[in-house]
Amino acid sequence: MAVLRRKPRRAPGADDPLDAAQERRVRAVLALGGVPQADLPDGVQQVRLRLLERAAKGDEAPRDVSAWAAVVASNLAMDWHRAKRRQERIGERLASLRQVEQPSDEESSVLALAVAQGLDELPDAQRQVVVLRFYADLPVREIADELGIPEGTVKSRLHTAVRALRARLHEDEVV
């Protein structure tokens, strides 16, 4: 008669690469690294994931899992701070964009009048490319095709015209 042997039952979480003491150490390293309490579980999961990925690649397990996990947790804390700083810088840039004052209707009218006068003073060839580029919103290639001139000539005329307009607006103290 054959005796059936059952496989020993594994305790819940037996496949967990971190034991309870290692998890506490990872949490402590993350907390000491300045990671907020609410983000600690995610940090622990990241350490677990990295250990599992390492095993899945066929790399041998670290000699001291606890020390390895602490180093990974420390690196995660630094990454968390870098990401936070990056988000703060993006927020500052967005805030500064919102704070840019829009010119009043009167200032816009003065600027539009000054640009129109500056355009009137440009030679016809320069005025033509400026109007096609900035008012008709045509790319340089299409302007060249439309006028039957090389793209380099369009670019040269645009450069000269814009420089002349800019000088005129500064001279009139409009900008």
Cβ–Cβ under 8 Å, residues 125 and 157: yes
- pLDDT band, residue 5 (cuts 50/70/90): very low
- Model confidence over 104-138: pLDDT tens digits? 677 777 778 888 888 888 898 998 898 888 888 88
Per-residue pLDDT, averaged over 20-41, amounts to 91
Bigger pLDDT: 8 vs 170: 170
- Token pair, residue 154, equals 């369009």
- Model confidence over 59-111: pLDDT tens digits? 888 888 889 999 999 999 999 888 888 888 877 877 776 665 566 677 777 77
Cβ–Cβ under 8 Å, residues 142 and 151: no
